[in-house]
Amino acid sequence: HSAPVQKITIIPRTSGALGYTMQVEEGNHPLYTKSELENRIATLTGGRAAEEVEFGQVTTGASNDIEQATKIARAMITRYGMSDEFDMVAMETVNNKYLGGDASLACSDGTASTIDQKVVALVKQQHEKAKQLLTEHKADLDRIAQFLYQKETITGEEFMEILEKKEDFELSVVQ
pLDDT tens per residue across span 85-112: 998 888 887 776 666 667 778 888 999 9
* Phi, psi of 114, rounded to the nearest 5 degrees: -65, -40
Angle, helices 166-174/138-151, rounded to nearest 10 degrees: 30
pTM of the model: 0.83
C-alpha atoms less than 13 angstroms from C-alpha of 103 in its C-beta half-sphere: 11
Q: What is the pLDDT of residue 172?
A: 53
Q: What is the pLDDT of residue 159?
A: 86
Q: What is the pLDDT of residue 156?
A: 86
* Phi, psi of 104, rounded to the nearest 5 degrees: -135, 140
Residues of the chain with pLDDT under 50: 171, 173-175
Q: What is the pLDDT of residue 17?
A: 64
Cα 78 to Cα 14: distance, rounded to the nearest angstrom: 34
